[in-house]
Structure 1
Amino acid sequence: MAQFRPAGLSDDDSDSDDYGFYEKPSRDYFIQENPKKTLEVKLQDAIINANIDEVENIVTYDLNNRVNLKLDSGWTPLMHACFHAHDKIVDFLLERGADPNLHADSVTPIMAVCSNSSANNDTIYHVICSLIENKCLLNVGDKYGQTPLMRAISSGRVAVVQKLLDEGVNIEMRDQQGWTAVFWAAHHNQPEILELLIAHKARLTEVDKYSRTPIEIAMSHDYQNIVDILNKYLKTDEELEETKSIVSLNSQMRSWHDYYPGVTTEDRLTYVCEIPHLLYGMSCESLGTLIESSGMNLREFLLMEEDKMINLGIEMPYERQRLKIGLKKFHLRGWRLNAVAGLYARKFENYSVLDCLTALGTHMQQVYILEATLQYALRDYNRNKNQIKFEPPDSPLILRMKTGTKKLVSQINNLRSEIKNMKGILVKISKANPPPADLIKEKPLFEVALGYVTDVLVICSIGALIYHSRNYLARVTSK
């Protein structure tokens, strides 16, 4: 039995043999049994065949301008019109209120038109402009992370790519394999588009999830023209080494305070710098700007719910779903003992102050994250406790919860043990070593003045003692 069909095909066009030994019912059978389905089929056929008059009649008189309905294929009329690049039908549907951001299986109308590689360039460009004028979303990816820009690159639409770049599209968004627009241009041998991306400051030294660079992708396909362009704009080896050394120098710890963000300003720890890394791991890096502008800390991010996502401006449901799944997987991951063990597990004889500060800073972040995970679990438990109440004691759910609780308690005890060990080590270090220079505080002015007075009194006392001693010796000698 047929399990899958390409997007855009209706059930009537599939090769399913669900009807067994009976003859498959004809299309006319469905038309007689379901007049509404007939209307959808007629509209879909009219769009595919570019019959603008029939489309107008069906939309105006039969559907009363309901242009956002889903057809047999699951696509909207606008998605079909965009995929087949029928610009007049696109304009008509948009005039009647078609939503340019309605999607099916995470594919939007602009993604559909950017995937068309056979239509005339001018027609495709006109459809793109119409969608942009109607406020379609550009910085959005499908379930594979592919954006309209990436699809336009794969289709070789230079003018469309230029239009998207002029609209300020994000050229550093990544798909599931970590490819940016530059990777797509290199993979599909699009030198002119690659030049456009470079002119808009695209990064050329990024790596994908397999640690490959764009130039390595081009070399694997033997696209010498792409390799030449990348080599022309890439820095020389000496310049790259110099840049790496500068970056390395800037990223070094300047003081022990850097391990404790916020300690110098007496603010609460936020760990905001970790959010971009988590977004990248969840294939949601396109949401970085929205989350950064909101000013949320790491804890708020790890506990974010759908209503908060909507308020931030994450409009596409599948983007919210991808983020929610990513957060859930983050909280469900396991913790090993060596993930929380520090200096005690290393069993060194001597530890520097820097070693201790590094381990303490790491553990503070781990405790911060674990607190958010506990809050996440408690929130879900409160939502489902009524259902859990009626579970039998030996149900799989109760057993899983007991097992998870034991593991959680074990990890908390590991943290407590590590804190105790760290405390003992720090006590030994504090007794055997002088305090770090940046912990020596300047004395208050009155203490300094008191010290000066004390020094003067001591000096005067010593002077008087010496004077009287000399006189005593002189008298003894004279006798």
Structure 2
Amino acid sequence: MMFRPAGYSDSDEDSNFGYDFVYSKPSEPKPKRSYSPPKVTENFDDVLYNAVNDGRLDEVKRVLERDNYFVTGCLRHGWPLLLLACGEAQFEIVRFLLEEKRVDVNQAWMLRTALMAACESSRDPVDVYKVAILLLEFGAVINCKDNYGMTPLMFAIKNGHTEVVKLIIDQASLEATDNEGFTALFHAVNNHRTEIVEMLLKAGAATDVINRRGFTPKQEAEFKGYLDIVNLFPAAEDAYDIPAKYLYYSNYKDISQGEGEEEMPGYSQEIGLLLFGMNSERHLKTFAKENFDLMRFLTLTDEKLKELGFILPFERKKILHGLLKFHQHDWKKGSLRKFPKDHKYDCFDIFEILCNHLKQLTIMQASLIYVDNMMSSTSIKFDPQYKPELVECFENVNQLDNTIAGLEEALGRIEAATKVKPVLLVDADSIPSVGKSWLTSAVKVLFLSGVVSLLVYRKLKH
């Protein structure tokens, strides 16, 4: 006979592990649930993604009518709808989004724009070209960079969209570099785009830029063995040393006179600083070769820049925009050289103040010439309410002119009075006739006095 371990019942029924005070209720049958299949919801992300890839505009419109979020929101595949349509070069979808949905043409995702997406597209170059034209018509920005420093021009070159390069090369910055130090010319060389390299060189792309590897575009072509591209580069130019007057002030004549004593100072040292502020410092050599001074530089026009060899409109616009901003600055008295009230002035201080005033007058004159060049006298129509102010302005100018004339006269008198002359030199021609007769009489008197004194001395001695 078998016995169960202590605490267990001999009965066949469950006793809840031997705890007599616990009783389990008999399990009730669970009600059966009716099965209903889950509702199938449409995945708009996938629908839109496939519709754009296939170029189905009607499907895109249907989804956007049901959920307007996707007009500007990102798909789970990554890009917003506009960038996806540009990347697939779907012209009709892009036009629908820009014209009817009013999507911003410069909408960016991770600094990537629609124009960049189009230039990076691997679709038919003809379709890419049509999309690029459409984006530019709606105001797409050409000179912008993504996270890697790539521009639309670089993307177009890298993917071989030659027609797009021709379309934007005039408005694109050829000096822009990516994070590796590559300009557009570097990308054309590295991707063996011979035709594009030729276009960039004709457009004036810099050939002396060095990337992070320490190579120039020509050296990159030589390293890769692209001899057809190597032969496109011009022969090495003779080294040109920029004159010192464009680099720094060396002596007092740089701020007081020009090459001649009667000429105005050129202030050529300021041109390099202005070009640096315009991101065009590499063009200093061009202006130095033409012997530009500050006055001539501040009054540049688009026609003059063309004559100097600035082919690309983008390069000219950078300089002209910088000049416009310069002349728009209000002149302030703080621009003049000042000293503390208790300062003891010496000749050098006065000289410095006068030279500073002369420089400010030169800049103001350049601004007036610039305004005169920008505004035709036949097109100027002053409001009658400004007539009293104009009359007062002319009166102030006349008063200033008279003051300057009086100052010039006073300086002439001071110079004549303080002109250094030899002390021991007696110029007989410069002595007046009255002075000559008086001098003759004085000599005679002194001579007679001497004779009389001599006779008296001898008499007394005797």
Instruction: Give 1:220's aligned residue.
Output: 223
Aligned-residue offset at 1:448: 3.9
SS, match of residue 240 in structure 1: coil
Contact 1:279 1:288 in 2 (8 A): no
Contact 1:272 1:296 in 2 (8 A): no
Q: Do residues 151 (structure 1) and 146 (structure 2) align?
A: no
- Separation (CA, whole Å) in 2 of partners of 1:42 and 1:78: 15
Aligned residues: 288
Contact 1:81 1:90 in 2 (8 A): yes
**Structure 2 stretches of 5 or more lacking a match?**
1-36, 256-264, 283-313, 329-408, 456-462
- Separation (CA, whole Å) in 2 of partners of 1:88 and 1:256: 67
Task: Give the one of 197, 201, 204 matched to 2:200.
Answer: 197
- Separation (CA, whole Å) in 2 of partners of 1:210 and 1:258: 44
SS, match of residue 82 in structure 1: helix
Output one character per residue of 1:81-130: Cα deviation in whole Å (capped at 9) or x when no partner: 1112223322332332232211111111111121123x212111111111
- Name the amino acid aligned to 1:447: I
Q: Do residues 251 (structure 1) and 246 (structure 2) align?
A: yes
Contact 1:75 1:103 in 2 (8 A): no
Instruction: Give 1:176's aligned residue.
Output: 179
Instruction: Give 2:112's aligned residue.
Output: 107
Instruction: Give 1:121's aligned residue.
Output: 125
Q: Do residues 468 (structure 1) and 443 (structure 2) align?
A: yes
- Separation (CA, whole Å) in 2 of partners of 1:205 and 1:453: 56
Task: Give the one of 398, 417, 422 matched to 1:450.
Answer: 417
User: 5 Å matches for 1:78-477?
Assistant: 78-96=82-100, 97-117=102-122, 119-166=123-170, 168-230=171-233, 234-236=234-236, 239-241=237-239, 244-245=240-241, 247-248=242-243, 251-253=246-248, 255-256=250-251, 275=277, 293-295=324-326, 444-451=411-418, 459=426, 464=439, 468=443, 472=447
After superposition, the Cα gap between the structure-2 partners of 1:70 and 1:446, relative to the gap in structure 1 and judged at 3 Å, is: same
Q: Which has the larger radius of gyration?
A: 2
| RMSD (CA atoms) | 4.9
- Separation (CA, whole Å) in 2 of partners of 1:86 and 1:111: 14
Aligned-residue offset at 1:443: 9.6
Aligned-residue offset at 1:51: 2.9
- Separation (CA, whole Å) in 2 of partners of 1:279 and 1:68: 40
- Separation (CA, whole Å) in 2 of partners of 1:105 and 1:279: 31
- Separation (CA, whole Å) in 1 of partners of 2:419 and 2:127: 89
- Name the amino acid aligned to 2:238: L
Aligned-residue offset at 1:65: 9.1
Contact 2:182 2:211 in 1 (8 A): yes
- Separation (CA, whole Å) in 2 of partners of 1:222 and 1:73: 40
Task: Give the one of 53, 60, 63 matched to 1:58.
Answer: 63
TM-score, normalised via structure 1 length: 0.49
- Separation (CA, whole Å) in 2 of partners of 1:453 and 1:188: 75
TM-score, normalised via structure 2 length: 0.51
Output one character per residue of 1:177-201: Cα deviation in whole Å (capped at 9) or x when no partner: 3322112111211110011112222
- Separation (CA, whole Å) in 2 of partners of 1:213 and 1:39: 49
Instruction: Give 2:7's aligned residue.
Output: none
- Separation (CA, whole Å) in 2 of partners of 1:131 and 1:88: 12
- Separation (CA, whole Å) in 2 of partners of 1:108 and 1:66: 17
Aligned-residue offset at 1:135: 1.4
Contact 2:70 2:81 in 1 (8 A): no
- Separation (CA, whole Å) in 2 of partners of 1:91 and 1:151: 22
Instruction: Give 1:23's aligned residue.
Output: none
